[in-house]
Structure 1
């Protein structure tokens, strides 16, 4: 991953921590991704929802991503797992890409390990961020 400081909203952290708490009874293999997400939260700084910069990916942000390996562009909305539906462009924050982009900023190139090596994507544009639109509790 990038070494830049991640930024999370207090509201997003609260919702993700609730998700993590609810997953404590899952089998270990199903918790792996969630444990990685918990580590990500521990690496970042937490700010009030009203103070998050408008270029940061938060939950319910709609973003345009460019896969730098295949030069493929995709638009996704980052959501909690219960709202995920990739066919509708709703990407779970617990997915590898979801975890990779949460807390990063527009223009950042994000890297994460996959079985075939390292994957790289660029957060090209934040098309909608709830906090920037004044929607603080989506």
Structure 2
């Protein structure tokens, strides 16, 4: 993943920390996903929901991405694990792409290792962000 500054709202931070505590208490089998999310949270700048720019990917944001190798465009919504449904374009924040997107902004390119090499996606547009729409507690 790229090491640009990332931004997380204090509201999302609270919910993400609660998710992590819950998964650790339940002995969640994918500890690597939890550790990656914890690393991203640790380096994030924490801001109030009303102060976050509308071009930043927050929880429940819907974003348009471009694969930098295939030029394919896709739309994903970043959600908590119970709401994830790849067929509906809802990606868990614990999935590598979900963790990688959180806190980045339009124009940023994220990258992470996949079995076939490195995957690179550019954030083209934030189509919906709860904070920008005044939906602060989704």
The aligned length equals 138
Match of 1:103 in 2: 103
Match of 1:21 in 2: 21
Point out the more displaced range, 26-35 or 42-51: 26-35
Point out the more displaced range, 34-43 or 20-29: 20-29
Aligned mates of 2:102, 2:60 — CA distance in 1 = 10
User: When the two structures are superposed, what TM-score results if normalisation uses the length of structure 2?
Assistant: 0.95
Match of 2:43 in 1: 43
Match of 2:121 in 1: 121
Q: Displacement, 1:71? A: 1.5
Match of 1:81 in 2: 81
Aligned mates of 2:115, 2:26 — CA distance in 1 = 24
Q: Displacement, 1:28? A: 6.9
Q: Displacement, 1:48? A: 0.5
Structure 2: state its 5+ residue gaps: none
Q: 3-state SS of the aligned residue for 1:124?
A: strand
Aligned mates of 1:123, 1:21 — CA distance in 2 = 29
